[in-house]
Each structure stands twice: as C-alpha cells, then as structure tokens.
C-alpha cells in the first residue's frame, strides 16, 4: 500500500501521520506483519531508486486466509483503504497485489506553476489529449496551491488501426 501526501508535506509530518496509520493497521487481527518505508526509495520494479518526502510505502502481510474469515486479500485491502480514507483524509491511497509488478499502477502526471488558472487550463488540455488514447479513464486530481497532481487509471488503450 502506498500513501501519497500533498507534495508540500515534509518528511517529519509524513512520518508522524504514517506512524498513526501504521498503529491503526497493526490493530487489525488479520495483519501478520507490516513494514514501512517513509520517504525512502521505492521498492517497485521500474523505480529510479529515489525517495519522496511525501510518500510512504507499506508492505503488509496478512495472516492465512482461513485465519481471517476466508476474506480475500483484495477485499480486505479495499476495505482497509476505505477505512483509512474515512479516518485519514487528504491522502491518496494505492494498493497493489503481491507480485513483482503492481497490476494496476496509475500513470502519474504533476503540473505546477505560479498561476492556478494556467495550471488548470494546461491540466484540462492534457486530459483531453489523453482521453483520445485511453478509454475509459478514472481521473484523480489533487489540487493545492498551484500544483495539479493527476493520476490516471487506464482500463484499456484505444488503438485505431
């Protein structure tokens, strides 16, 4: 699970809130172990090995399915993400199934500038261009100050041959 705070979040603030969330997660009886990576280099394949002060990655191992009421990993993690969103708002939560490559990693684009209206205009233009190639699109936008963070979750790629 990845937690992404606002881009202006310091590592100290990220760590403080991530510790609270970690405590919350570890209280769940379905959890076997939890490893946190606050602001450190990403562990995913394809990462450049660089950290970000506003990002935390949790590696969560659940107890065996039988010991957690036969709930699937995906269902449990989706429920956990919903609970975290309700209790800790203003954070983007992403979950990925175990494996070497996340199955549903989003495409992330960040636009920033001094003028909010210019950033939004550029974001809308970019969205219209992207929609020509991806269908359908789920678009998550986080806008604070003059920074627009766009995450695209493409379902399929259009191919006009």
Domains identified in the chain, total number: 2
Residues 89 and 116 in one domain: no
Residues 64 and 111 in one domain: no
**CA 46 – CA 72 distance, rounded (Å):** 27
pLDDT at 47: 47
pLDDT digits (tens, 9 = 90+) for 96-153: 765 444 444 556 666 777 777 887 788 778 777 776 766 555 555 555 555 555 555 5
Give a yes or no: residue 62 inside a domain: yes
Residues 132 and 84 in one domain: no
**CA 84 – CA 78 distance, rounded (Å):** 10
Give a yes or no: residue 130 inside a domain: yes
Residues 126 and 56 in one domain: no
Residues 62 and 15 in one domain: yes
Q: Evaluate if pTM is beyond 0.75.
A: no
Q: What is the CATH number of the domain that holds 74?
A: 3.30.70.1430
- DSSP states along 26-74: HTSTTEEEEEEEESS---STT--S---TTEEEEEEEEPPGGGGTT--HH
Residues 114 and 87 in one domain: no
pLDDT at 139: 53
Give a yes or no: residue 7 inside a domain: yes
């Amino acid at each position: 699970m990845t937690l992404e705070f606002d881009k202006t979040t310091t590592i100290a603030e990220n760590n403080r809130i991530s510790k609270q969330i970690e405590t919350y997660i570890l209280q769940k009886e379905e959890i076997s172990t939890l490893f946190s990576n606050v602001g450190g280099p990403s562990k995913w394949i394809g990462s450049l090995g660089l950290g970000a002060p506003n990002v935390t990655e949790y590696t969560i191992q659940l107890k065996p399915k039988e010991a957690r009421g036969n709930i699937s990993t995906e269902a449990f993690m989706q429920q956990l993400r919903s609970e975290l969103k309700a209790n800790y708002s203003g954070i983007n939560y992403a979950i990925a199934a175990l494996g070497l490559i996340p199955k549903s990693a989003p495409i992330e684009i960040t636009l920033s500038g001094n003028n909010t209206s210019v950033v939004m205009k550029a974001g809308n233009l970019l969205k219209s261009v992207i929609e020509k190639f991806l269908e359908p699109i789920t678009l998550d936008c986080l806008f604070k100050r003059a920074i627009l963070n766009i995450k695209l979750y493409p379902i399929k790629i259009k191919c006009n041959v």
